Every structure is written in C-alpha cells, then in structure tokens.
A and B are shown apart, each in its own frame.
Chain A
Amino acid sequence: MNSMQRCLAALAHQEPDRVPLFLLATLHGARELGMPIAEYFSAAEHVVEGQLRLFRKYRGDCLYAFFYAAIEAEAWGGSTHFRADGPPACGEPVIGSASLIDRLDPPAIDDAPGLLRVIETIRRLSDFAGDRVPVIGVAISPFSLPVMQMGFAAYLDLIHDDRARFEQLMRVNEEFTVSWANAQLAAGATAICYFDPLSAASVIPPALYRQTGRRVARRTLARITGPTATHLASGRALPIMGDLADTGTLAVGVSALEDLRVLKAAAGDRVALLGNLNGVEMRRWTPVRAEAEVRRAIAGAARGGGFILSDNHGEIPWQVADQVLMAIGDAVERWGRYPLDWIPSAARAG
C-alpha cells in the first residue's frame, strides 16, 4: 500500500498494511533548511522543501501544509510574533471592541499574502504527491478563530454575555473558513484539518458546545468540498465524541490526557482517531521511551483500523529531537504492521 491507500483504509475503519503515521512537524522544516523560523515561513519554496525533507527523513504518511495559526489572523489584519524556538504567536487582537463585529466582513483569500503562500505550497506538494501521499491543509474553525481575533477572555465574555453578536461573528467567520478550506482543496489538498480547540470539553462544557461549536461545525463542514478531520489540539474529546461524529468529520485529533481504549470504544466506527503521543513530554523522550509510547498507542486504538498515529496537538514542538522522531518512525514499522498479533487479547477486546 502507498500512504494514500493506507490512510483511506484506516479512515474507512479497515485494517491497512500498517498503522498510518502523521508526524505533524512544521518548525523542523526550518531546522532542516538551516534558517530562522520567520525566514522559513516567508516563502512557499522553503516550506515545500522542508516538508519533502521531513517526509523522506521521518517516513510519515502525509505532507502537512500548515504554516502557523496566526497566518489566518494576518488575513484579518492581525500581526504575528516570530520567535527563534517555537511556533509564531498571534499579535494584538484585531477586534478590540465587540461592536466592531457589527461591520465585520470576511477577508478575501486572494488579498492575504500569507494564505497565498500556503496555497502555493499546497500546489507544489500536490504536484509531488500525486495520488500517492495525502496533502493535509488546515483551517481554524470559525468557532475557535475569535480567540485570535478578540483574545480568549473577551471571546468567552462574548459567548456568555452577547449571543446575538456571537452569532453574527460566526456568520462572518463561517464564510471565511469555508472559502479558505475550499481554496486549499482546489489547490490540491487531499483533506482539511479543522482545528477547533475551543470546542474541547476541557475548554467549554459539552452543553454549551452543543449550542455553539457543534452547530457551527455542522454548517461549516457541510460546505467544505472535501474530507475533514477535527483536531482539538490537546483538548479533551471523550464527553463530546458522539457530537463530533455528528458534525460529519471523518477523524478526531485526541488528547494525551485521555485513554485511547476508552476513546476508541466511544468512537466506534463512526469516526477515526488521530493521536495521541504527548508532544510536550516528547522533548524528554529517549528512543526507548518513544518506542514504548508508540506501542501503547497502537495497542489502545489501532485494531480494526480507524486510527492514525500522531502527536496530540497537531504540531511537534521545536525542542523535540530528531532521534525521537526517527525512533517513532522505526517503532511504527516494527509494531504497526497488521494484523497486530502482538497485542494481548484483553487489549484487543477493550
């Protein structure tokens, strides 16, 4: 099987030849090219070259066209703070007062230089990948985007205190997210990772999610013209697993704080799981520990398909050593071959 066939089988809840591996490394591409992170993300050709090198080096099953979250905030007029040793951060909120929502319009993708760099990256990666390797695009959910647009506290205040303006903001954001996701698909992305950390049960209560983020996701995902996976960026998924499946997403990125066996039982064959290696701890792992963690994850969720091994956040920290990422790839080759007969029967039944 090639990477595409492997992923399609897993997402269809069938057992492929081995467990697919999505090593979602972004910043490591800059290290490969020996350039500062800000310079790396300033040109599509850097990211294309970085992703291709990482793909060959770590033997993952996808090409990841994600630059950094704040690139979407830039499209709305926001700024980005680059640092030498971690992901770029979003600058000051562009919606400084809730009343600005009343006259907010979604930006055009073609007017956003950062988004156009991503589109160009996807085109080139897609040319390389053909139908052999999935190219993953990313869109921040309309529901989570306001954390960058307004700041976290102001946005929570809006959700709780001004539901009419919240709904207006969602209408505007949905137009943007749908355009952005579909532009990436048109450029050759195979699927869209719908980043929605605010919907996690560790961030808002499930009852509030059902009134807000779930509705937004159902409307938005229905208009995205390709497959989507929802990522909660380390947030807890278990209490809302059924709700997530109801949004039409194919897979859910799950947290290292949750038990994969329990998550798998909750997901059944309604939605695949993506996860849940602990990216923060990974910084201190040895190759031996990396292998043990890969075994744990595969034993927890890989039987029967419906599982892609990945980190739990959607981005590997800059501080994670090459030897650990190489060890993860080695461990998947060693322990990820189906039919996974090495897993004890009690774990399989679980």
Chain B
Amino acid sequence: MSDLPQSFLAALEELDQLRADALFRLALADRAPIEAVEQLIVPALEAIGRGWDEGRTALSQVYVAGRFCERLVSGVFPAGIEAGGERPRTAIVVLNDYHFLGKRIVSAVLRASGIAVLDYGRMDVDELVSRVAADRLEVLLISVLMLPAALQVGALTAALRARDLPVRVAVGGAPFHFDAELWREVGAHAMGRTAGDAPGIVRALLEEGR
C-alpha cells in the first residue's frame, strides 16, 4: 500500500483512468476521503505539473489528469470539500485574453485539491477590480496566454492598489514562462510555472494575507 501514491501517479501519467480510479477506491478503503485526496491526488497533480515544467510531460496530460481528478474528488465530496456555506475568497480569471485552457486546468487542479474557487470567466481590468471589491477576494489567480494580456496585469495591480484592496494576485501562463522577471514587473505576488503549483500558491497567499 505504501507505493499507492506512486502507482496512482503512474496511472495518471499514462492516462489510464480505469486504473487510477481503482487505485483511488483502494485508498478510500483505509483512509478518510480527505486523506486520500491529500496523499494521492494533490502530490500526483503537483508531480505532473513539475514534469511539464521540466519537459517530461505534456500539457494535454496535465489537462486530462486535472479533469479526471476533479471527477474523482466530486465523487467523494459532491458539494466540495470546504463547502460550509461560505462563499470562496479565491477567484480565477482570464484577463483580456481569449484562451481558456489554462484557467480550466488550474481550476480543475484546485478543485481536485479541495480548494474552492470562483470562476470569473473573461474580464477586463475595470470589471475585474469591481468584482474583486464586491466579493472581498483574498486571492486572485490570472491566466494569460498572450503577452499583451500579461502586461495588462500591471494595470490591474495598479488599480487594485489605488483602491487599497488587499487581494493577493498570482499569475500563470506562457509569457511568464518565457520571461522569468515578468511577474514581478507587473506587480504580481506570485507566479505559478505549472497548474500543479496553484494549490500551494493559494494556500501560501491566503496565509500571508491573514
């Protein structure tokens, strides 16, 4: 049973959903659901994300693994792990861009890791600032593909500071991958190189803000 996490990871990497499903059920036989999620799903998604960053796995594997784990988690927590009736203070958005795959992958990884997240879809800066204020957000995740959208994050963080909103901003996407200094330049608090980084970043930023 000690190699269960490794076997689960291997099944995900091979996109063998039947085997991954069986291994997750096996884990549930002697673990609480939250333990199975934390011991199998979270490390597996982090490892797959790291593999992508290092050129060992592909984006499609990250996407399919995230989609599949999201289903597994919703099977054991139909209403969401943290659902206690309180509205989430974390949101994800595509800023002035038209590419949604990154947001979808990160959302799946977060939900599979037990983190509730509001999906803002696509917004421009003014609309986003209003929503951040109305929802009293603590963490905002921004997914971009194109460089102009990444640069728009700078306008957003300036507008958030101007309104003195305490939200912490994390960014991810191709421009930040190709320019390691860009996330600081645009005033973000954190940058995720892969979707697997997202749960740790959200937890750390929530902690920082409290």
Contact = CB atoms under 8 A, between A and B. Distances in A.
Contacts of B182: 280
Nearest to B152: A85
Interface in B57-81: 57-61, 63-64
A317 B146 CA distance: 9
Interface in A134-154: 151-153
A89 B147 contact: no
A153 B59 contact: no
Contacts of A318: 148
Contacts of A278: 178-179
A201 B58 contact: yes
Interface string B166-200: 00000000110111011000000000000000000
Nearest to B96: A83
A156 interface: yes
B85 interface: no
A278 to B, nearest CB: 6
B64 A156 contact: yes
A160 B64 CA distance: 9
A280 B58 contact: no
Interface string B100-134: 11001000000000000000000000000000000
Given A256-B178, A280-B147, A156 B58 contact: no
A83 B148 contact: yes
Nearest to B102: A152
Interface string A297-315: 0000000000000000000
Given A86-B146, A91-B98, A281 B179 contact: yes
A281 B58 contact: no
Given A83-B148, A280-B182, A202 B98 contact: no
B61 A205 contact: yes
Interface string A69-112: 00000000000010101110111000000000000000000000
Interface in A219-250: 234, 236, 238-239
Contacts, number: 81
Interface in A280-326: 280-281, 283-284, 317-319
Contacts of A151: 100-101
Contacts of A186: none
A86 B52 contact: no
Given A86-B147, A153-B63, A280 B175 contact: yes
B47 interface: no
- Chain A interface residue number, banded: 35 or more
Nearest to A255: B178
A280 B178 contact: yes
A153 B100 CA distance: 8
A208 interface: yes
A33 interface: no
B146 A89 contact: yes
Given A153-B100, A160-B15, A85 B55 contact: no
B100 A319 contact: no
Contacts of B149: 86
A265 interface: no
Contact of B58 (A202, A257, A319): A202
B179 to A, nearest CB: 5
Contact of A89 (B15, B61, B97): B97
A283 B147 CA distance: 10
B179 A283 contact: yes
Interface string A186-214: 00000000000000011111001000000
A141 to B, nearest CB: 16
Contact of A159 (B60, B97, B179): B60
A100 B48 CA distance: 33
Interface in A254-284: 256-258, 278-281, 283-284
Interface of A: 81, 83, 85-87, 89-91, 151-153, 156, 159-160, 201-205, 208, 234, 236, 238-239, 256-258, 278-281, 283-284, 317-319
Given A153-B104, A159-B60, 16 more contacts: A85-B151, A87-B146, A152-B99, A152-B100, A201-B58, A203-B58, A203-B59, A204-B60, A205-B61, A257-B178, A279-B178, A280-B174, A280-B178, A281-B179, A283-B147, A319-B151
19 contacts: A86-B146, A86-B149, A87-B146, A89-B97, A89-B99, A90-B98, A152-B101, A153-B100, A153-B101, A202-B52, A202-B59, A203-B59, A203-B60, A204-B59, A208-B60, A234-B174, A280-B175, A280-B179, A283-B179
Interface of B: 15, 52, 55, 57-61, 63-64, 96-101, 104, 146-149, 151, 174-175, 177-179, 181-182
**Interchain residue pairs A-B with the least CB separation, the first 9:** A86-B148, A280-B178, A152-B101, A89-B98, A205-B58, A204-B60, A280-B179, A203-B59, A281-B179
